[in-house]
Amino acid sequence: MLVFIVRRLGTMVLTMVVVSILLFLLLEINSAGVAIKVLGPYTSEEQRNLWLEANGYFRPIYIRYFSWLGNFIVGDFGDSIRFKVPVGEILWPRLASTGILGLAAMAVVIPLSLTLGVLAGMREGSNLDRVISVGSIVTTSIPEFASAVFLSTFFVFYLDILPGTSSMSDGFSFVQLILPAMVLIIYDFGYVTRMTRASMAEVMTTHYIRTAVLKGLPYKTVIMKHALRNALIAPFTVIMLQINWLLSGVIVVEFAFAYKGFGALLLEASLNQDLFMIEACAMVAVFVAVITQMIADIGYTYLNPRIRFA
Amino acid sequence: MFKSVALIRESIVGMVGLALIVFWVFVAVFADVIAPFPPNATIMPMALPGMEGPDGEVFWLGTDHIGRDILSRIIHGSRRVLIFAPLATFCAYAVGIPMGLAAGYRRGTTDDVLSFIANIILSFPVLVLYVIIIATLGASAINILVAVTFASAPGIFRIVRGLALDLRNREYVFAAETRGESPWRIMMIEILPNARGPLIVDACLRLGYVIITIGVLGFLGLGLPPPDPDWGGMINETRSMATSFPHMTIFPVIAISSLILGFNLLADGLREVSLRD
């Protein structure tokens, strides 16, 4: 188990290193381009060269990469071109807002989709299963921007009970959190439900469940004690991997509702060519994705005794 | 699998999906005939659905902020989606399939290297990858194709690799090896056709995702440039007015959702009937 964790950690570090090289090459290989982005297009060649000299851009590329990486590791991402302050000052609060949004969504998605998935998978082919299965396909077919439009048309235009934007300019507001979270929930719960259903349906066909039913245990005991434990291993992984999806989802949702979070920040940075902000956001996104993948892998191994003791 | 493609008639869900797709293909093909107005003509701004224009013509779905008929734009917009999404998906498969076959059939170093690259790309949250690529390269049709291929090929690679790993141990592969066939011939002629079942289902699902992606990019303002109608772009252009004129955003949204739903339902139906036999 320990060897497995160490190896998994190694892969993670390697992935991060390769990603950082890719990002560095994509965004910083052309140092003249960097100078234009930082100083603006209306600067002279001389000014740019002075800036490049002062910031060590004339050193060999590998030295530049290592010093860039070193600064990154200690949390010095450089100054945002757009906001003229260190990237971290903007990035961390934004990431926290997105964390709140993601937690709010997950707090609903997990219990809802596990319950629906188990109910559907318990009796495969029943009417309840059909309704839940088709319902989950329909909700995952609606892209986030579409449900954002549907929901705001309904709740903001027709009913006029919820605010249409969630900029939270006067501090945290729960009401403004409802619509963005709802969009994430609608898009995400369908997938987790379908995975839980598949896992549950598979468990229900196994011999140990048949044995438990045939030896006359009450149906409730069979489900609660025998089926659930085995059926919930796969959904655990799916939920962890869902965080990767959530990072994509927040870009759309935060843009749609003007929510000041991480996704909107990445999008704005990309649109404004805010170089160091893009780098920091991308690295943070990949870091979160890689770490949740690792937790998913380790958790799966830990939860599944067939692998744990093998 | 071709049997199950024919069997799709037995799956209600699959048939509904197929009907939705056929409907949109029909609309796209006959767009010039069906659309009541030219898609980029500015006629009367801010007309509500059902309103009559200056010459007594009816805007069934209303017009947008600069007076273009929304119904006509949706009808013409279907062309863009139905050309770009299959094209992008095809490119992704053209890259993913050979790599997956090579990794699964040859194994060893080829597999290790390709799998590592695929895992790196897959560790990016998809949309983060799209936003960075498009923002760096600029929003154009070709860059969107490149971005979709880059982001989807690793997923296809994984599926093909898994299938090839399984199929390489079949007797017909050994027979071909004994006959002295070249590795690429074995991969393309012996392995790939036998992997088609899961790939067809995956292609349907992936088309749905690619349509979402193209829609999302349009919505974020990173999509195909105006003025030609693009469903995602239509939503982006009018969403600031959505709280007063919801018809401008809601109809393109319904159009794109129904097409994606069509592909997802068809994929589900295909999977159901292919499991049956």
Interchain pair B127, A270: CB under 8 A: no
* pLDDT tier, B277 (very low <50, low <70, confident <90, very high otherwise): low
Residue B98 in this model has a pLDDT that exceeds 90: yes
Pair of tokens at residue A29:
């290989």
pLDDT for A139? 86
Residue B41 in this model has a pLDDT that exceeds 80: no
pLDDT for A105? 92
Q: Residues B238, B244, B247, CA angle at the centre, nearest 5°?
A: 60
Q: In a 3-state reduction of DSSP, which class is residue A168? A: coil
Q: At what angle do helices B126-137 and A2-28 cross, to 10 degrees?
A: 20
Partnered with residue A86 across adjacent β-strands are: A79
Contacts of B219 in chain A (CB under 8 A): 145, 252, 255-256
Euclidean distance between the first and the last CA atom of chain B, given in angstroms as a whole number = 9
Interchain pair B221, A134: CB under 8 A: no
pLDDT cut 70: percent of chain B above it: 91
Interchain pair A252, B127: CB under 8 A: yes
Pair of tokens at residue A153:
């048309």
Interchain pair B127, A293: CB under 8 A: no
Mean pLDDT of chain B: 83
CA–CA separation, B62 vs B70, rounded Å? 6
Chain B residue whose CA is closest to A25: B136
pLDDT for A116? 92
Radius of gyration of chain A (CA): 24
* pLDDT tier, B134 (very low <50, low <70, confident <90, very high otherwise): confident
Contacts of A138 in chain B (CB under 8 A): 261
Question: Considering CB atoms only, which of A140, A156, A271 is closest to B135?
Answer: A271
Question: Considering CB atoms only, which of B212, B250, B260 is closest to A153?
Answer: B250
Interchain pair A145, B235: CB under 8 A: yes
Question: Considering CB atoms only, which of B120, B135, B242 is closest to A149?
Answer: B242
Q: A-side interface with B, Cβ within 8 Å?
A: 15, 18-19, 22, 26-27, 134, 137-138, 140-146, 149-150, 152-153, 156-157, 164, 244-245, 247-249, 251-252, 255-256, 266-267, 270-271, 273, 278, 281-282, 285-286, 289-290, 293
Residue B196 in this model has a pLDDT that exceeds 90: no
pLDDT for B276? 66
Q: Averaging pLDDT over each range in A169-183, B69-83, B159-173, which range is the top one?
A: B159-173
DSSP state of A224: I
CA–CA separation, A155 vs A149, rounded Å? 10
Q: Closest Cα of chain A to B130: distance in Å?
A: 10
Chain B residue whose CA is closest to A23: B132
Radius of gyration of chain B (CA): 22
Longest dimension (CA), chain B: 77
Question: Considering CB atoms only, which of B127, B131, B257 is closest to A146?
Answer: B257
Interchain pair A248, B125: CB under 8 A: yes
Question: Considering CB atoms only, which of B132, B239, B256 is closest to A282?
Answer: B132
Q: In a 3-state reduction of DSSP, which class is residue A143? A: coil
Q: Best residue in B120, B238, B244, B272 to probe A by mutation, most A CBs within 10 Å?
A: B120
pLDDT cut 90: percent of chain B above it: 15
DSSP state of A206: S
Are B42 and B66 in contact, with CB atoms under 8 Å apart? yes
Residue B2 in this model has a pLDDT that exceeds 60: no
Alpha helices in A160-274 (DSSP H): 174-204, 207-214, 219-221, 228-231, 233-257, 262-271
C-alpha distances in angstroms, B250 versus A151, B23, B38, B243? 10, 19, 21, 11
* pLDDT tier, B120 (very low <50, low <70, confident <90, very high otherwise): confident
Chain A residue whose CA is closest to B219: A145
CB atoms near residue B115 (< 10 Å): 18
- 3-state SS string for chain B: CHHHHHHHHHCHHHHHHHHHHHHHHHHHHCHHHHCCCCCCCCCCCCCCCCEECCCCCEECCCECCCCCEHHHHHHHHHHHHHHHHHHHHHHHHHHHHHHHHHHHHHCHHHHHHHHHHHHHHHCCCHHHHHHHHHHHHCCCHHHHHHHHHHHHHHHHHHHHHHHHHHHCCCHHHHHHHHHCCCHHHHHHHHHHHHCHHHHHHHHHHHHHHHHHHHHHHHHCCCCCCCCCCCHHHHHHHHHHHCCCCCHHHHHHHHHHHHHHHHHHHHHHHHHHHHHHC
Partnered with residue B59 across adjacent β-strands are: B51
Interchain pair B216, A293: CB under 8 A: no
Q: B-side interface with A, Cβ within 8 Å?
A: 13, 119-120, 123-128, 131-132, 134-136, 208, 212, 215-216, 219-222, 232, 235, 239, 242-244, 246, 249-250, 253, 256-257, 260-261, 264-265, 268
Q: Tell me the mean pLDDT in the region B95-109.
A: 91
Chain B residue whose CA is closest to A246: B125
Q: Residues A150, B22, B60, CA angle at the centre, nearest 5°?
A: 50
Least confident among A182-191, A274-283, B99-108, B244-253? B244-253
Q: At what angle do helices A233-257 and B196-219 cross, to 10 degrees?
A: 30
Q: Residues B214, B219, B224, CA angle at the centre, nearest 5°?
A: 55
Interchain pair A145, B260: CB under 8 A: no
Least confident among A124-138, A225-239, B5-19, B185-199? B5-19
pLDDT for B89? 93
pLDDT for B4? 56
Pair of tokens at residue A133:
């299965």
Chain A residue whose CA is closest to B119: A15
CA nearest to A152, candidates A112, A186, A104, A199? A186
B95: number of CA atoms within 13 Å, CB side? 18
Which residues, including other chains, have CB under 8 Å from residue A240's CB and lie 6 or more apart? A292, A293, A295, A296, A299
* pLDDT tier, B236 (very low <50, low <70, confident <90, very high otherwise): confident
pLDDT for B100? 92
pLDDT for A107? 92
* Predicted TM-score (pTM) of this structure: 0.84
pLDDT for A12? 87
Query: Is the ipTM value over 0.90, yes or no?
Result: no
Q: Closest Cα of chain A to B49: distance in Å?
A: 15
B27: number of CA atoms within 13 Å, CB side? 22
Euclidean distance between the first and the last CA atom of chain A, given in angstroms as a whole number = 10
Q: Closest Cα of chain A to B234: distance in Å?
A: 12
Q: Closest Cα of chain A to B271: distance in Å?
A: 13
pLDDT for B56? 67
* pLDDT tier, B153 (very low <50, low <70, confident <90, very high otherwise): very high
10-residue averages of pLDDT along chain A (310 residues): 84 88 81 77 80 79 84 80 81 89 91 91 86 87 85 81 73 80 89 88 87 88 84 83 84 88 89 84 88 84 69
